[in-house]
Each structure stands twice: as C-alpha cells, then as structure tokens.
C-alpha cells in the first residue's frame, strides 16, 4: 500500500475561517476525511504545524521511508531556505501544493524557494490541489 503524507504549514490550521474568499469555507479536517474515503488503497496521513522547525523535523522523519510527500509550506514557501534544504536532503519525492494560484497574487508569492527540489508543483485549484497531487503519486 502506497504511503503518502500531506504536510501543511503555518496558518493552514485556520482553513475554513481564514480569508475565505481566497481559501474557501471548508476546514482541512473535513476535507481530509473525504480524501481518505476517496483513496482507500493508499495510506494517507496528515500533519500540520505553524513552526518551521517542526515542519523540518517531520520532513526528516518521513522523508526516507514514505512513498510521497504533498507539501503546502504556506508562507514558508517564499522565505524558508531551511525547509528548501530539508526537501533537498530527503529521498522521498515531494510535490509542492498551493490552494490559491500563487502566480496571480503579490509578487513576493511568485517565488518558491522549495520548488527547485520538488518533483512537481500544483497551485490554484483550491483544496482540489491536494487531490491532484495524490493522483500524481498513484
Ligand atoms: C498558500 C499560498 C501562500 O502564499 C500563503 O502564504 C499561504 C497559503 C496556498 O495554499 O495558497 O498561507 O500556500
């Protein structure tokens, strides 16, 4: 059974409440429940942290044994060389995901420090971005 993990970065615990015009009205927990039903043949896990160090620890923990990582590093995408280095250091392929289309937004969101080390990028399909990433691993 293929083992995948979704890792969400800062402020994504507020999905459904935060800037709903950009990120929608659904909480990630209810979306994730749905996802697990949709992909019964894969072992799907979910982790969220607002802390850069904890995200790096999680990448190290799963990055040598899991089959795929779906990473929405949120604002750290644009700022964190440390998360970029972690993605580069691990063996498990990482797909970068964004709910919003980061290229339609402010210029500073057009830069992703982690993109060069990811096997692919999906941005702008709402929560469906995660599902597309999972499908690409299957
Ligand atoms: C985001 C886009 C980032 O620019 C932003 O900081 C986020 C969420 C997205 O999923 O669209 O927190 O990663």
Domains: count for the chain: 1
Catalytic residue flag (residue 76): no
Ligand 1 atom nearest to 10, measured from its CA:
12
* pLDDT of residue 125 exceeding 90: yes
Token pair of 23 as six digits? 């990120």
What does the alpha-carbon distance between residue 74 and residue 96 come to, in Å, rounded to a whole number?
Answer: 10
- pLDDT at 124 (0 to 100): 97
Cα 73 to ligand 1 centre (Å)? 7
Average pLDDT over residues 112-136: 97
Helix (H) or strand (E) holding 136: helix 128-137
Position with higher pLDDT, 79 vs 18? 79
Distance 87 CA to ligand 1 centre (A): 18
> What was the pLDDT predicted at 55?
98
List the domain range (segments joined by +) for residue 57.
2-137
Range 8-33 average pLDDT: 91
pLDDT for the residue 16: 87
- At 43-73, the pLDDT tens digits run 999 999 999 999 999 999 999 999 999 999 9
Residue 2 has pLDDT above 90, yes or no: yes
Mean pLDDT (whole number) for 68-96: 98
The CATH number of whichever domain residue 55 belongs to comes to 3.40.50.9100
Q: Is the CB of 101 under 6 A from ligand 1?
A: no
78 is catalytic: no
What is each CA distance from 27 to 17, 22, 74, in whole angstroms? Answer: 8, 13, 16
Residue 69 main-chain phi, psi, to 5 deg: -125, 130
pTM across the whole model? 0.96
Ligand 1: which residue has its CA nearest to atom 2?
74
Contact criterion met (CB below 8 Å) for 57 and 49: no
């Amino acid at each position: 059974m293929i083992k995948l993990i979704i890792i969400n970065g800062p402020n994504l615990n507020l999905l459904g409440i935060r800037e709903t015009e950009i990120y929608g009205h659904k909480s990630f927990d209810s979306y994730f429940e749905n996802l697990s039903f949709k992909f019964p043949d894969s072992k799907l896990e979910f982790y969220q942290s607002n802390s850069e160090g904890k995200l790096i620890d999680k990448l190290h923990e799963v990055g040598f044994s899991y089959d795929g990582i779906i990473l929405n590093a949120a604002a750290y995408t644009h700022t964190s060389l440390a998360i970029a280095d972690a993605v580069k250091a691990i063996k498990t392929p990482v797909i970068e995901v964004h709910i919003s289309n980061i290229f339609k937004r402010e210029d500073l969101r057009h830069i992703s420090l982690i993109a060069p080390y990811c096997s692919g990028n999906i941005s702008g399909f709402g929560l469906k971005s995660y599902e597309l990433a999972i499908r690409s691993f299957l």
